[in-house]
Chains A and B, each alone.
Chain A
Amino acid sequence: MIELNNVTKKYKVGENDFYALNSLSFKVEKGEFVSICGASGSGKTTLLNIIGTIDECTEGTYLFDGLDVSSMNDRKRAKLRNEHIGFVLQDFALINNQTVLYNVMLPALLGKTKYKAIKSNALKALQSVGIADQAQKKANQLSGGQRQRVAIARALINEPDLILADEPTGQLDSETGKQIMETFKKLNNEGKTVIIVTHDKTVAEYGNRLVMISDGKIVSDI
């Protein structure tokens, strides 16, 4: 499903080049649950953002379901992201002064689905993560765990094949973190491909494949 070949991400820092990703190659098959682990600054987020099409690599190729993402324009990548990829971030990335319902609906509002259908889909997504009763609350009225569930519901609304999560438990206590990880596990069991970035070993254990990354390179893959 995902195929990165010699992907490099280079930043210019002053006079020097800095390689956040250094000629990295990586494959993920449909239905996998991959944990990407590594120290802070090792390039995990950069990698995930490139997979999620919100960032671009400076060299190398990226194929998504056989399509060459690295040669797509911004609009095409946005469409791919909107339809096939769901994102969950550490800080939830919710619009705080909007309702939970609106936040969940947002990705679908960008597509062609009718408003009514979007609304009922959003409620279903909220139900599947167990917070349908919070739909009318403002996002900032919820607890961290609830917020992350909203983010997951939002990631699910367009029924993507791929779920990307960047330190999804980073701002949660361990008990809540566990519940969130269970949710990802459940989604994976339902057939979704899940890639999770974390520096937390216990979180990484939920995956059925562990990729260690250091200085922009994969150092182990088991």
Chain B
Amino acid sequence: MKLIYRLNAFMKGLHISSFILSLMLVGTSLLGILVLAKLNYMYADYRIIKDASPDVYYLGNMSIPMPGTLVEEMGKELIDELQQFSGIGKVYTVKSVAPVMFNEQNISILLYSPDILDDFPALKRIGYDFQNDPSGFIVQSAVFDGYEEKSATISIYKTGVGWHDLTININNKVNPMISTICFSGGSTGTMDSSVLLTESNFIIGLDNESNRELLEKYSDSLRCYPNVVFRFKSSATETEKKEVFKFAEKKGNYTPLAEIAAADLNLIQAQIKSSIPLPVLLFLTSLIAYLSITALMVTKKGKDLSILYLCGASRNKCIATVMGSTALMVVIPSLINAAVLSFLWKLQKQGDERLWGFLFEENCIWLIVFSFVLTLFVVFSVAFASMKGKTPIEILRGVE
């Protein structure tokens, strides 16, 4: 306490500038965190696509769904047709089923082919895991904000009966990962993997026996949208592939995932190019500002320091006083940033929709640590360098 009192007194006259400086560091470092979180998000998006097997193709939304389409039958015809091609290795579907309600919100159910997780290993990494309970569901944080139970009651419409309650098990809660940033292709029919992989307002289950049986009961009121993904055999020749593409073009629009991944990467690179310079520039500016205020402190407060020395402080204590007071200007902003980050982190965990497009990861903490250490290092070395040459006695004599 006494130390803080003393440091505070020492900084007298520099309070406003150090306050502004601290704000600058807070702002700069927060901007850096946001940029990083945005890149994290884009990168996570990209990884999902990139980690897919190279020969996986997405074939858009294949048919206009009609009420009453059997869950089992959905996309069946297309799958059968596709499977007749000699180059095709695997075909799987992602079906979206609506309308479903949870907690007075409209949601849909996505049913994944069970083997899809093998081709999209990134999904598992971000929490799409059905191993413990194949008939359980994965829910979106955006919808299930603050919901901590292991099961949930959803409502499905049943013709003639009305809304019907149904209890499902929850495997895991995840954040929506795929944003429109990555897939805003623009032209009609451009693949929207957001539907394929995940979106908000979905609960996700496996397209297996028990889940199909469950939904079959409501088949007359549910609309089912089949999406088809296929993968070539590794031995597929170019001609075999071309045949499939020709067919696919007739059926709908398809885009090789590799192409999407490449486009994603371009987006990320463009984002890095456009968003990194500003925070770096600001950070350099604030470093220079820290540097000059430290130098200023040593010259402006030279007399105070020599008085401190006179009163019985050792040389090291005088240096420590300068370092301590400048460190305060670095420590406090860093603490503020850490607090803001942990707040955002908490919001993210709760699936706050305002954080769409951002992903706060460990590297955000490292960014704070990095800016903290670097600023402190600069400040300390300037303080040390500018005080090294001076002896208190000379300053005292100078003012005598």
Spell out A's residues near B (CB within 8 Å).
45, 49, 54-55, 74-75, 77-79, 81-83, 85, 87, 89-91, 93-95, 97-98, 102, 106-107, 109-111, 115, 118, 154, 158, 166
The contact of B400 among A45, A55, A77, by CB within 8 Å, is: A45
Q: Is the CB of B307 within 8 A of A94?
A: yes
Chain A residues contacting B13 (CB-CB under 8 Å) are 97
Q: Is B312 an interface residue (CB 8 A)?
A: yes
Q: Is the CB of B310 within 8 A of A87?
A: yes
Identify 13 new A-B residue pairs, CB closer than 8 A, beyond the known A81-B310, A90-B400, A98-B9: A54-B310, A75-B316, A77-B314, A82-B312, A82-B313, A89-B400, A93-B307, A94-B307, A106-B308, A111-B312, A115-B1, A115-B5, A158-B312
Is chain B's interface secondary structure helix, strand, loop, or mixed overall? helix
A164 CA / B287 CA spacing, docked (Å): 43
The contact of A91 among B311, B315, B392, B400, by CB within 8 Å, is: B400
* CB within 8 Å of A: which B1-46 residues: 1-2, 5-6, 9, 12-13
Q: Is the CB of A75 within 8 A of B314?
A: yes
Say yes or no: A107-B304 contact (C-beta < 8 A), given A49-B393, A90-B400, A91-B400: no
Chain A residues contacting B397 (CB-CB under 8 Å) are 45
* CB within 8 Å of A: which B277-310 residues: 303-304, 306-310
7 tightest A-B CB contacts, nearest first = A82-B312, A78-B314, A107-B311, A75-B314, A81-B312, A74-B314, A74-B315
Chain B residues contacting A118 (CB-CB under 8 Å) are 2
The contact of B309 among A54, A85, A111, by CB within 8 Å, is: A54
* B contact residues, range: 20 to 34
A49 CA / B397 CA spacing, docked (Å): 10
The distance from the CB of A169 to the nearest CB of chain B, in whole angstroms, is 14
The distance from the CB of A200 to the nearest CB of chain B, in whole angstroms, is 16
* CB within 8 Å of A: which B352-400 residues: 392-393, 396-397, 399-400
Chain B residues contacting A87 (CB-CB under 8 Å) are 310-311
